[in-house]
């Protein structure tokens, strides 16, 4: 097996990046907000595990009046399903291996957005983990609060994502909401530079792709350490 390094990748809401005085997303509403319904808000706000279908209208997004034009736009819509990106980043990503995805044309509305050209990089949630070879333990839910003395083994076998969800419900009930399972070691079946693993709601980015994004000075994106000690590729 090969040891690899991944980072969490997400769009930035830093005011220094977005241009918005308060830390808010750049895409904030629909241009035809008068047509908003609870069903519409839910459809574009919840986490979709599969690729988006053609019932999603990607032409009605409205930018905050203060929003800068960055390479990646932060959004209140579809935040777990992918990224709103420009052609500069799209060209870079096409050189790398991405898990099941599609590019969708997007229309952004706003007084400053007449010439903005963006796509939505939609990435499907995938099952790419060998659970039998991976290691999950119980500890504090918040990473900074974890200590070796808090760590407990999980006695029940974890052979699937369904098993992991079931175990987390048991932990919450028996140990309290401050505790959860977390992966000490993840073994993945296949290597991707950018993926959306089913155990997370945030994209994982390879160290190689992260370096390229930083080298090309892609704006509007930030990286965080994974909540995993080791990741291996079979």
11-20, 30-39, 151-160: segment of lowest average pLDDT = 151-160
Q: Is the pLDDT of residue 184 over 90?
A: no
pLDDT digits (tens, 9 = 90+) for 59-73: 999 999 999 999 999
Give pLDDT, residue 131. 92
User: What do you get for the CA distance between the two ends of the chain, in Å?
Assistant: 5
- Place 83 in a pLDDT band, splitting at 50, 70 and 90: very high
For the chain, give the mean pLDDT.
91
Please check whether residue 124 is in contact with residue 51, taking contact to mean a CB–CB distance below 8 angstroms: yes
Where is average pLDDT lowest: 3-12, 137-146, 185-194, 206-215? 137-146
Query: Which H, E and C letters describe the chain, residue by residue?
Result: CEEECEEEEEECCCHHHHCCCCCCCCEEEECCHHHCCHHHHHHHHCCCCCCCCCCCCCCCEEECCCCCCCCEECECCCCCCEEEECHHHHHHHCCCCECCEEEEEECEECCCCCCCCEEEEEECCECCECCCCCEEEEEECCHHHCCHHHCEECCCCCCCHHHHHHHHHHHHHHHCCCEEEEEEEEEECCCCCEECECCCCCEEEEHHHHHHHHHCCCCCEEEEECCCCEEEEC
- The domain segmentation of the chain, as residue ranges, is 2-126+191-233, 135-188
Distance in angstroms (rounded) separating the CA atoms of residues 58 and 159: 37
More confident residue, 214 or 164: 214
Question: In whole angstroms, what is the distance from residue 87 CA to residue 106 CA?
Answer: 12
Nearest to 9 by CA among 142, 186, 202: 202
Cα separation, 36 vs 40, whole angstroms? 6
Q: The tokens of 59 are what?
A: 């032409």
**Among the ranges given (102-106, 133-137, 177-181, 211-215), the one the predictor scored with the smallest mean pLDDT:** 177-181
pLDDT at 142: 65
137-183 pLDDT, tens digit each: 877 666 776 777 777 777 778 899 898 888 888 877 777 766 777 88
Percent of the chain with pLDDT over 90: 71
In the chain, pLDDT over 70 holds for what percent of residues?
97
Distance between CA atoms of residues 44 and 28, nearest Å: 12
Over the Cα atoms of the chain, what is R_g? 19
pLDDT of residue 195: 98
Q: Which residue did the predictor score with more confidence, 181 or 83?
A: 83
Beta bridge partners of 182: 137
**So what's the pLDDT on residue 152?**
76
Q: How many CB atoms lie within 10 A of CB 230?
A: 16
Tell me if the pTM is above 0.75: yes
**Cβ contact 24:75 at 8 Å:** no
């Amino acid at each position: 097996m090969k040891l690899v390094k991944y980072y969490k990748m997400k769009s930035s809401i830093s005011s220094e990046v977005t241009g918005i005085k308060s830390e808010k997303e750049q895409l904030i509403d629909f241009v035809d907000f008068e047509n908003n319904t609870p069903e519409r808000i839910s459809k574009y706000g919840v986490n979709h595990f599969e690729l988006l279908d053609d019932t999603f209208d990607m032409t009605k997004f409205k930018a905050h009046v203060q929003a800068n034009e960055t390479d990646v736009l932060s959004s209140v819509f579809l935040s777990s399903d992918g990224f709103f990106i420009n052609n500069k980043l799209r060209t870079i990503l096409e050189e790398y291996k991405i898990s099941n995805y599609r590019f969708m044309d997007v229309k952004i509305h706003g007084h400053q957005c007449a010439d903005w050209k963006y796509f939505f990089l939609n990435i499907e949630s995938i099952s790419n983990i060998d659970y039998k070879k991976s290691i999950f333990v119980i500890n504090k839910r918040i990473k900074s609060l974890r200590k070796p003395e808090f760590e407990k083994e999980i006695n029940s076998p974890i052979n699937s994502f369904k098993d992991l969800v079931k175990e987390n419900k048991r932990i919450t009930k028996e140990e309290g909401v401050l505790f959860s399972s977390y992966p000490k070691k993840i073994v993945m079946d296949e290597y991707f530079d950018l993926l959306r693993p089913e155990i997370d709601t945030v994209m994982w980015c390879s160290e190689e792709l992260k370096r390229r994004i930083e080298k090309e000075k892609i704006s509007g994106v930030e990286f965080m350490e994974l909540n995993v000690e080791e990741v291996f590729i079979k």
